[in-house]
Amino acid sequence: MRKVAVVGAGVSKFGVRKASYRDLIWEAGKACFDATPAVKPKDVEGLVVGSVLPERTAFQSHISSMAAEALGIRPSALSARTEHMCASGTVGIRYAYAFIAAGLADLVMVLGVEKLNQPSGDEAILNMGTGVDREWEAAFGLTAPPCFALAAQRHIAAYGTTEEQLAMVGVKNHTHASKNPTAHFQKGATLDQVLCSRMISTPLRLFMCSPITDGAAAVLVASEDRARDLTDRPVWIRGTGQALDGFQLTSLHEDYAHWPALERAGRAAYRMAGVTAGDVDVAEVHDCFAIAELIAYEELGFCRKGEAGPFVAHGRSDYGGEVVVNPRGGLIGCGHPLGATGVAQAAEVFAQLRGEAGARQVPDAAVGLTHNNSGMGEHVVMIYGREDR
């Protein structure tokens, strides 16, 4: 297989946006092309768009063609939409990777976009119910928060994890987001603010949850030869893994704090990249809820099972610790426009590994990881590496 690299990235402002679905595509596309002056839209051979809910929120399907036309891209090798709920963006990057590695394309844009705050707030949440089983779960009003609350309840009972430790994920990620101008939230948060925020689903409080957010992000992915023509600092895709345990809650491991599929996805990605958890300098993990970040530390091997609470409390996942987790602000701080999230994570790792992350820069970051879940039993992991590692 051929080597594949990310050569450019751009992110729209995330938030409750006064912008249409197409406005968001334009914004992320412009940001990506502006940051990659060697590439014009006509040079791009393929487009993959990660997007989950446009049929409901924008009354639009046929997304890849619509986005290609909006950006002036005329695909000659690949045009597709990926929908894998909250992992849609990263699943799109994997498709671009596979096409390029196989020699079927040389330069592909992966764009993630979601306009969630439409048509109304409670309908936006109703729409999110399409991500769980409509007949056996969503019909009861189930969306993501109660699912992850079950994991949090179990982690507390099994390992003595505290509400304060869950809250510290919220504090860290809101604080990181305050240094990211594209993040939904800009003000940071104190431990008291997180612990006093509104209860969503016991024991998860508002500031331990990602919000309903609009946003888009884009990356340009290229073959080795093309990448070296376009930039002197490509960021290589070195490993990838994906694994599923199940879709419905009752198909998952009986211990909801144990996510074997994440351990398997991580192991596959590490093996392919030839690295271990200890080599990862910066990680963008899927903190849709604080408990998801804690379990990700464990299943990805940053700490042992059950030790994630103390790991975050002692700053070991922050600047100065073993691995900086979610310097972008995570889903809790940036918001979670489903299809855009994985692409925005890749854009952050791209900036970090090129030393271009400004106030958020992780010193000398050489190996980066991104992780998405699309439910507690479904995980995808990517490993990125700098030129010299």
Q: Which of 45, 83, 137, 298 binds other proteins (CB under 8 A)?
A: 137
> Of these, 135, 232, 364, 388, which contacts other proteins (CB under 8 A)?
135
Q: Which of 74, 202, 274, 358 binds other proteins (CB under 8 A)?
A: 202
Q: Could you tell me if 89 and 25 are in contact, meaning their C-beta atoms sit under 8 angstroms apart?
A: no
Is 12 one of the binding residues for other proteins (CB under 8 A)? no
Q: Which residue, 154 or 360, has its beta carbon nearer to other proteins?
A: 154
Q: Which region, judged by CB under 8 A, interacts with other proteins, from 80-88, 94-102, 192-200, 371-379?
A: 192-200
Window 237-266: contact mask with other proteins (x via CB under 8 A): -----------xxx---x-x----------
**256 versus 270: smaller Cβ distance to other proteins:** 256
Give buried/exposed letters for 380-389 (b at 16+ CB in 10 A, else e).
bbbbbbbeee
Catalytic residue annotation: 86, 336
Which of 48, 49, 86, 149 is in the footprint of other proteins by CB under 8 A? Answer: 149
Two tokens at 272?
Answer: 């392919």
Query: Based on CB atoms, which residue is closest to other proteins, 232 or 254?
Result: 254
Dihedral in degrees, nearest 10, Cα atoms 96, 97, 103, 109:
40
When the beta carbons of 154 and 328 are compared against other proteins, the nearer one is 154
Least Å distance between CB 138 and other proteins?
A: 6
Alpha carbons 201 and 314: distance in angstroms, whole number: 26
DSSP 198: P
Amino acid letter, 307:
E
Query: Do the Cβ atoms of 245 and 251 come closer than 8 Å?
Result: yes
**38-57 positions binding other proteins, by CB under 8 A:** 56
> Token digits for 189?
């948060």
Q: Which of residues 158 and 313 has its CB atom nearest to other proteins in the complex?
A: 158
Interface pick for other proteins out of 74, 134, 304, 314 (rule CB under 8 A):
134
Neighbours of 293 (CB within 10 A): 28
Residues 106-125 that bind other proteins (CB under 8 A): 119-120, 122-123, 125
CB count within 10 Å of CB 74 equals 12
Q: Tell which one of 80, 98, 101, 138 touches other proteins (CB under 8 A).
A: 138
Residues 187 and 178: beta-carbon distance below 8 Å = yes
The runs of H, that is alpha helices, within 129-287 are 144-159, 163-177, 191-196, 224-230, 260-273
Contact 341, 380 (CB under 8 A): no
* Residue 196 lies near other proteins (rule: CB under 8 A): no
Among residues 24 and 291, whose Cβ is nearest to other proteins? 291
Tokens of 117: 């705050």
Minimum CB distance to other proteins, residue 346 (Å)? 28
Buried b (16+ CB within 10 A) or exposed e, 223-236: bbebbeebbeebbb
Q: Select 106 or 137, whichever has its Cβ closest to other proteins.
A: 137
CB of 148 to other proteins, least distance (A): 9
Whether residue 270 contacts residue 276, with contact meaning beta carbons closer than 8 Å, is answered with: yes
Residue 49 backbone phi and psi in degrees, to 5: -115, 120
For other proteins, the binding residues (CB under 8 A) are: 56, 119-120, 122-123, 125-129, 134-143, 145-146, 149-150, 153-154, 198-202, 206, 209, 248-250, 254, 256
